[in-house]
Structure 1
Amino acid sequence: MLKTSLLSLAALLASSVSALATDTAFNDGWRFHRVESGPALGHDALPAAGWTWETVRLPHTAKVEARVIQAPGRQAAGPAQWQGDAFYVKRFRTDPAWKGQRVTLRFEAAMNVADVWLNGRHLTTHLGGFLPFTLDLTDGLKADGENEVVVHLDNRDNAVTGPKPLKDLDFNTYGGLYRGATLSVRAPLHITDEMLADHVAGGGIVVRQTHVDGTRANLTVTTEVRNDGAKAQHFTVTQRLARDGKTAVQTTSETVTLAPGAALSLPVDLSVAHPRLWSLDDPALYDLETTVTADGKAVDSRRTRIGLRSIVMTKDGLWLNGRKTVLRGVNRHQEYPYVGYALSPEASRREARLIKAAGFDYVRLSHYPQDPAFMDAADEVGLLVLDGIPGWQYAPPDPAFAAQVVRTCRDMIRRDRNHPSVLAWECSLNESPMADALVDALHATVHEELPGPGVYSAGWMPRAYDIYLQARQHRLPETGKEAPAAAPDKPLIVSEYGDWEYYAMNAGFQQGQWGDLLPQERSSRQELGGPEKGLLQQATNVQEAHNDNLGLTAVGDGYWAMFDYNRGYAPDLETSGVYSIDRLPKETAFFFMSQRDAKADGSGAMVHIATRWTPDSSPDVRVFSNADAVELRLNGRLIARQAPDQDRLSTHLRHPPFTFHLDRFESGTLEAVAYVGDRAVARQQVRTPGAPHHLELSPDTQGVAPAAGHNDVLFVRARLVDADGTTVPTTGTDIHLGLTGDLTLMSPDHVPTEAGTASFLIRIGDSLKGAAVTADGAGLAAVSMAVR
């Protein structure tokens, strides 16, 4: 039918030609075709003769979308993103070594309805675009020859999957095979894939921690093993827990006999003396190696990374490893400009690092399950996450919809159940009027899938869930003045705050009506390139709301939102983000950074002057710091050395801002020095910018190096600076970027600056050899930078 590159046999057999499983990335050599217009083709549609095809690598977006430039007005509008039919086709050869083995293909996500064929035979119709599904290819493979997989995707609105028709939705869902795929070859006796489990709490490996403290950690590891062979198998399961390559504990089960076609779940108890516990400040991780051995040979093996920790939540708060903790958090949409959801694993890891560096210890994954690579990175950096199913102001009374929601809850838990970063399971449709029966079913599903202590369901309707999620705007009446919230006898998380209550005089349930709006100058929705006054107003709103939240008995709170994002129901960006959609910080970011304590030795201390210091700047200068005192100087002249502010916006804050009142603006250099006692621990300078002098180029790696061969996407910043290296904070200055080597621009090659920085998005190809970028514009000399 179609010619594509063949899957490398060497890659498939990277492990020795033993019976041990091989898991191989199945991301290269796909052929892609997007149907530009017309009615839905239906589940039985296959590629048509005469189509043109593009060779692509996963993760891949069905369409590169234009970057939204902020539009005036707040009226509702149709969706900007593409919706329709798309096809992916890949060919690969059956290897003789697979004879007698089980071959499966796992897609980590496919938006939104996926029909998959193998060699012309329809294998499945999978509903839902945010979670994995696995297909057993064994019986359909050609014994010795070339196979063809066809994937037909339809990302149109779907009444069964939700989350809501795009024209009414507060975020975009994009399309494509936007996460990776894996081809696995396993022996007949093997550890099962959790996405193929057909029973409660089944599939793969489940780690339950029954008791954890600094003296001892007790856990039960349950492994589901299946025998697809023709005869009974006698086997053992060995669990080895190690840290930094050193064994902490190892246990082997008794020999078990498993009949042909049968599966069983085998629990093994482990006990670790004096464990190193996973925490927000020290996210210690262990490697759990699970090995199935039959007839003296290892036939299957799986590695699971875990963290040993104890979480207890009550109406009085949260205890992590016995220590009471209040979580400072944020909500995250996973989209990037241009590529939508199609982030590389490296890009997802950069996101987690950025969120942690911005002062947060908790992330609400709104409003859908997010990339496994992000979950891995949350484990690594010490972020607790609230894992949630797709849902937003939509709950039709259709039994098929309810069944899909419950299945999605199960699948999310099975995928993420062993991550130490998971705080709780938001198996709840956000801001949606769920029927009591559905609430009960979702709460029950959480505890069916993960029975035992330390497991919590969470939802915005407090009736059955273990944790009550309440947005701040939902406890504010139309007067805008705070009213006492109903306080159910259970843990509380402020799920969202800081945006809507400063945007409209209502609770936000009818967002598409655009009613009761507040003046723009009061809003938290401020563009990075907008007036300094607006950015400072956003920071004031956040300070007020976060301070208010800290007056509650709450586990934590989550600001809305981490990043600016696109909406389906409006033509403009939602700009309440701590960072822009291009991942550049607003002043609010530095407020949150200042709320994390410095260490006793002064490390981690920070200070930030929240001004551009131009003639338009206020002479009241705000400084964010986590120190005891701050000294401010202007052109070397001492303005004051003072303690933090004491006002109604700071009553509960750990580290209130410092406000200095100057008589007037004076061009030059402001310098802030932060002190703990008499010791200077941090300092920063802000200079009045001069005329543009040159461009500076930098990659935004967040400590994760660009990766060739992974479809890695990376922001490159071109900054407009004066002769002293101060950013010239103009918005709208055109900058051009050129590429050398195996790089692709996902953004346009001409991008306007925003607050002095033009952000380009590039994709890394097969090699970084000779990879470089060159920027020019504004009549300035070109500047180049190697990408590595």
Structure 2
Amino acid sequence: MQSITLTEGWEHYRGGLGGIWEVWRADKLPNSFFHLPWERVYLPHCFNSHDGVDPDVKYYQGEGWYRTRLQVNNPYPGGRTLLHFEGVGQKSAVFIHTEEVARHNGGYDEFTVDITEAVERIRQHPLYGECVPLAVVADNSRDLQTVPSDISDFNLYGGIYRHVHLVYVPAVSLERVHVEVRTEAKSGVGEKEAAPASALATGDAGTDAAGANNTSTAQPGFRAKISVRARLYNPEGLTGETRLTAVIRDPSGAEIRRFEKACSLPQDGMEELASFVLEEPELWSPDQPSMYTCEVTLTGASGDTGVAERFGVRHFEFVEKGPFRLNGQRLLLNGTQRHEDHAGVGAAMTEELIRAEMQLVKEMGTNFIRLGHYQQSRLVLELCDELGLLVWEEIPWCRGGLGNEAYKTQCRDMLRAMINQHYNHPSVIIWGLGNENDWEGDYDYFDKEAIRGFMKELHELSHHLDDSRVTAIRRCEFCKDIVDVYSPSIWAGWYRGIYTQYETYTRNEFEQTDRFFHMEWGADNMAGRHVEKPYTGFAEIASGTTAEERDGDFLMSGGDPRVSVLGDWSETYFCDLIDWHLKCQETMGWLTGTAQWVFKDFSTPVRPDNPVPYVNQKGVVERDLTKKEAFYVFQSYWSTEPMVRIYGHSWKVRWGKEGEKKRVRVYSNCRFVELFVNGESQGVKERNSQDFPCAGLRWDVLLPEGSNELKALGWGGTLGKNDSANTGAGNGTTVGLEAAVEDQAQLHYQTAVWSAPAQLRLTARRVAEDRVLLEAEAYDTNGVYCADAACFVRFSGAGDGRLLDNLGTTRGSRLVQLANGRAAIFAEVKPGAGFVAAVSSAGLPAAHVVVE
């Protein structure tokens, strides 16, 4: 097999066409008046890369056309020429010149198109010959009979936003290789069949309060039965003999097994090539993600092809009314969640961006990630395997209700594709069947029994295709008895309830669910917004015994009182909420785990009024991977690498009275931390995870007016989940300084009191040869800086330059709320160019600056 990734030589036109002939009309009629404005692009490409977060318009939904010209040189006599698409949103059609060769419905699963015969036909065309004209239409038009629903809380991006490959294979080739792994306890040899790599166990909800993350990589009590199966691609139904060879390599790359098998053609369906037992396998776990390799080679008269698939050996179980176990031991699943979305590119993330993001996810200390709400890039799954991130992956049956038979067919097809394509990844433990399926809105009917019936069908289909994983859904109470694992909606301290009652809410839901897993918790937070006293108006909010989010709770007004409307949207509150959740989770021995929503801010069509318009701001990093303070709160609980972080690096101005003590927060996983203010020690504190907030690492200090320098020094090693110091029971052991880590921050302390904002000031500072930072600040009538101002401001510019906007970040939106009285945006302005920037806000005079 030969594969060529098609990244260059593409042109794009966003808009509908009268027909496929318009793509190529200029080839025959070069002087035609009807030429289209094609744009040169590179793949991957998303045609909503910027308008998805444009504060002034709804993002485009419709057709987007792509065209290129291929040089096709298949080296195999009688071979097949294929196009392999990793993802095209949302519906697509593929054309060789004007001949339609394939259609695909689904924006997130991979698909392959055989263009062999079409290529031969176009080679007879006098205009093309060896140059094969390829066109692809990607269509994300609104359609109530497709998934996901347009009322979902994320953009349904359009474009060829993942890789496309030109693939040459022999007339008969390998289409798919699956490696099935079943584990068994050694004590069970001869007594029972090997069990799947997953189990739904029964157990005691109160067990395993300790040992939450003790997953051993060497577990001699297990052996693994491995089965290798392959499916051939033989579209012409050729007959004859072929030979399949399977080579198994251990994690070091050494060959440990070799099998050969002769097959008669044609062959239909999966064929078992090898079956064997690993007596002492190296187990895959988050701490040691050991990967085996299976190399399968097909040898036949039409040519040879090979496929290499990695796999892992691990056993997991969700204990009924109890915790989660991996490789026989309890593991508390510490997770986050991901959308495939990034500033400036939308869904068309490069491999470098994906790698950087997934590395940050692991750096935060997570061992689990939910890929919401659709099948994601193959590279994401490969990195989860390599980094040791357990995965919940799901199909995009999300909100809206249940459509017609075509709608159901798409759901079935996407489930089959997801399982077929990601079957070998040891990171995957859950196939998600839906999200918020109790949320109606796409039809004038809502049939709960029909939804139940279809959910049951998908559950059974999933187990038929793969009984080594479990099924799950989030937030659909009337279907929770159908799937293996259920996540209710618990948004303590944001959409419902108060976060100090989090454990009560969670335990209540746990008692009503056989196998409980808490997906989605957190809060929106504006990067750079901090408060001296975070929101605590909990008396206004009903606490009760549930914090279940309800339809409409995401709106910025109306409905029951809730923190998402009444709160401050500050990083300060967000960090407190996270801190409380994590300190509780450490002591909840019955808990399987949770996943915070969401790792990175992402675009959404349903939140135009957010501080950064059209952005869901619940991330622990911004949409361009800039870390927020919450990232370090998670690290202080989950990371094993020594770290210390003074809260509020972006909090440039703090305020209060002269002589008033101000709280300095530090997050660290070190046993001891010492704080220095302007070079003077404020004392040493010992970390105790149950001492809220900041695990006891907080100091109330005096800050002089003006500039202040803070430094925190942490040492004494990192604290495991079950270290005695985590519960405040330190034994006084002397510790060394060799593992010391430190952090420094600067701030200005302001004692002058301000009134309402009356004026804006705008400055420009060149930060690179062609880049300028524009920063706006709010002041009152007396010229006092308004350190808590949060009004919306709008940036604009004129001249030889441009704002770098529509990025969906705090420094990448021309319309944005102030964070602590300031807002900023970058502009591209070359030296010597004439450019004038302005900032305005309702009720305030505009300010401008000439960029020198």
TM-score by length of 2: 0.71
Cα drift, residue 519 of structure 1: 5.2
Give the Cα–Cα distance (whole angstroms) in 1 for the partners of residues 427 and 168 of structure 2.
30
Give SS of 2:622's match: coil
**Which aligned pairs between 1:288-303 and structure 2 lie closer than 5 A?**
288-294=294-300, 299-303=304-308
Q: Which amino acid aligns with 2:686?
A: A
Contact 2:494 2:563 in 1 (8 A): no
Equivalent in 616, 641, 646 of residue 684 of structure 2? 641
Contact 1:747 1:760 in 2 (8 A): no
Give the Cα–Cα distance (whole angstroms) in 1 for the partners of residues 664 and 676 of structure 2.
11
Q: Which amino acid aligns with 1:367?
A: H
Task: Name the structure 2 match of 1:304.
Answer: 309
CA gap 1:634/1:626 in 2 versus in 1, 3 angstroms: same
Contact 1:631 1:673 in 2 (8 A): yes
CA gap 1:719/1:592 in 2 versus in 1, 3 angstroms: farther
Task: Name the structure 2 match of 1:351.
Answer: 357
Give the Cα–Cα distance (whole angstroms) in 2 for the partners of residues 349 and 355 of structure 1.
10
CA gap 1:267/1:490 in 2 versus in 1, 3 angstroms: farther
**Which aligned pairs between 1:377-776 and structure 2 lie closer than 5 A?**
377-432=383-438, 435-451=451-467, 454-460=468-474, 461-473=479-491, 480=498, 482-483=504-505, 484-485=508-509, 487-488=511-512, 490-499=514-523, 507-511=548-552, 514=557, 515-518=559-562, 523=567, 526=569, 534-550=570-586, 551=588, 553-571=590-608, 572=613, 573-598=615-640, 604-611=641-648, 612=651, 614-616=653-655, 619-644=662-687, 649=692, 656-664=695-703, 667-676=707-716, 677-680=734-737, 681-688=740-747
Task: Name the structure 1 match of 2:161.
Answer: 178
CA gap 1:575/1:746 in 2 versus in 1, 3 angstroms: closer
Cα drift, residue 251 of structure 1: 2.0
Q: Deviations over 1:686-723 (max 9, x none)?
A: 2236999987779xxxxxxxxxxxxxxxxx99899xxx
Q: Which amino acid aligns with 2:453?
A: A
Contact 1:747 1:761 in 2 (8 A): no
Query: Bigger shift: 382-391 or 139-148?
Result: 139-148
Task: Name the structure 2 match of 1:208.
Answer: 180
Contact 1:633 1:672 in 2 (8 A): yes
Give the Cα–Cα distance (whole angstroms) in 2 for the partners of residues 640 and 254 of structure 1.
71
Give the Cα–Cα distance (whole angstroms) in 1 for the partners of residues 365 and 773 of structure 2.
25
Cα drift, residue 535 of structure 1: 1.4
Cα drift, residue 133 of structure 1: 1.5
CA gap 1:672/1:180 in 2 versus in 1, 3 angstroms: same
Q: Which amino acid aligns with 1:210?
A: R
CA gap 1:538/1:746 in 2 versus in 1, 3 angstroms: closer
2:23 is the counterpart of 1:33: no
Give the Cα–Cα distance (whole angstroms) in 1 for the partners of residues 74 and 343 of structure 2.
44
CA gap 1:760/1:60 in 2 versus in 1, 3 angstroms: farther
Cα drift, residue 608 of structure 1: 0.8
Q: Deviations over 1:74-123 (max 9, x none)?
A: xxxx9721111111122224436354112221111111111222242222
Equivalent in 113, 119, 134 of residue 149 of structure 1? 134
Contact 2:94 2:100 in 1 (8 A): yes
2:65 is the counterpart of 1:87: yes
**Which aligned pairs between 1:175-254 and structure 2 lie closer than 5 A?**
175-192=158-175, 204-211=176-183, 214-215=219-220, 216-228=223-235, 231-243=238-250, 246-254=253-261
Give SS of 2:607's match: coil
Cα drift, residue 326 of structure 1: 0.6
Give SS of 1:473's match: coil
Contact 2:119 2:132 in 1 (8 A): yes
Contact 1:104 1:134 in 2 (8 A): yes
Give the Cα–Cα distance (whole angstroms) in 1 for the partners of residues 710 and 240 of structure 2.
75
Give the Cα–Cα distance (whole angstroms) in 2 for the partners of residues 729 and 686 of structure 1.
20
Give the Cα–Cα distance (whole angstroms) in 2 for the partners of residues 595 and 100 of structure 1.
59
Query: Bigger shift: 504-513 or 604-613?
Result: 504-513
Contact 1:476 1:507 in 2 (8 A): no
Give SS of 2:117's match: helix
Contact 2:76 2:303 in 1 (8 A): no
Task: Name the structure 1 match of 2:726.
Answer: none
CA gap 1:717/1:108 in 2 versus in 1, 3 angstroms: farther
Contact 1:395 1:429 in 2 (8 A): no
CA gap 1:131/1:474 in 2 versus in 1, 3 angstroms: farther
Percent pairwise identity: 21
Q: Deviations over 1:403-428 (max 9, x none)?
A: 22122111111121111221211122
Q: Deviations over 1:566-622 (max 9, x none)?
A: 221221222221112222122111100111253xxxxx1111111347433871111
Q: Which amino acid aligns with 2:177?
A: I
Contact 2:524 2:617 in 1 (8 A): no
Give the Cα–Cα distance (whole angstroms) in 1 for the partners of residues 142 and 585 of structure 2.
36
Contact 2:338 2:369 in 1 (8 A): yes
Cα drift, residue 65 of structure 1: 1.3
CA gap 1:109/1:226 in 2 versus in 1, 3 angstroms: closer
CA gap 1:42/1:360 in 2 versus in 1, 3 angstroms: farther
Give the Cα–Cα distance (whole angstroms) in 1 for the partners of residues 662 and 492 of structure 2.
36
User: How many residues end up aligned between the 2 structures?
Assistant: 677
Give the Cα–Cα distance (whole angstroms) in 1 for the partners of residues 394 and 464 of structure 2.
17
Contact 1:221 1:270 in 2 (8 A): no
CA gap 1:42/1:647 in 2 versus in 1, 3 angstroms: farther
Task: Name the structure 2 match of 1:710.
Answer: none
Give the Cα–Cα distance (whole angstroms) in 2 for the partners of residues 564 and 459 of structure 1.
23
Task: Name the structure 2 match of 1:702.
Answer: none
Contact 2:149 2:399 in 1 (8 A): yes
Task: Name the structure 2 match of 1:768.
Answer: none
CA gap 1:760/1:576 in 2 versus in 1, 3 angstroms: same
TM-score by length of 1: 0.76
Cα drift, residue 291 of structure 1: 0.8
Query: Bigger shift: 176-185 or 686-695?
Result: 686-695
Cα drift, residue 254 of structure 1: 3.0
Task: Name the structure 2 match of 1:59.
Answer: 44
Give SS of 1:642's match: strand
Give the Cα–Cα distance (whole angstroms) in 2 for the partners of residues 156 and 229 of structure 1.
36
Cα drift, residue 129 of structure 1: 1.0
Contact 2:765 2:773 in 1 (8 A): no
Equivalent in 124, 133, 137 of residue 111 of structure 2? 133
Task: Name the structure 1 match of 2:292.
Answer: 286
Q: Which amino acid aligns with 1:686?
A: A
CA gap 1:55/1:636 in 2 versus in 1, 3 angstroms: closer
Q: Which amino acid aligns with 2:674?
A: E
Q: Deviations over 1:610-646 (max 9, x none)?
A: 1347433871111111122222122232212122357
Contact 1:47 1:87 in 2 (8 A): no
CA gap 1:466/1:658 in 2 versus in 1, 3 angstroms: same
Give the Cα–Cα distance (whole angstroms) in 2 for the partners of residues 289 and 760 of structure 1.
49
Cα drift, residue 450 of structure 1: 1.1
Contact 1:249 1:272 in 2 (8 A): no
Give the Cα–Cα distance (whole angstroms) in 2 for the partners of residues 537 and 640 of structure 1.
26
Give the Cα–Cα distance (whole angstroms) in 1 for the partners of residues 827 and 306 of structure 2.
38
Task: Name the structure 2 match of 1:9.
Answer: none
Give SS of 2:616's match: coil
Query: Bigger shift: 101-110 or 142-151?
Result: 142-151
Q: Which amino acid aligns with 1:593?
A: Q
Give SS of 2:602's match: coil
Q: Deviations over 1:370-426 (max 9, x none)?
A: 221222222222222210111332223423222221221111111211112212111
Gaps (5+ residues) in structure 1?
1-20, 72-77, 193-203, 527-533, 599-603, 699-715, 721-727, 763-775, 783-788
| Pair member with larger Rg | 2
Aligned-pair RMSD on alpha carbons?
A: 4.2
Equivalent in 355, 366, 374 of residue 372 of structure 2? 366
Give the Cα–Cα distance (whole angstroms) in 2 for the partners of residues 729 and 284 of structure 1.
50
Task: Name the structure 2 match of 1:22.
Answer: 2
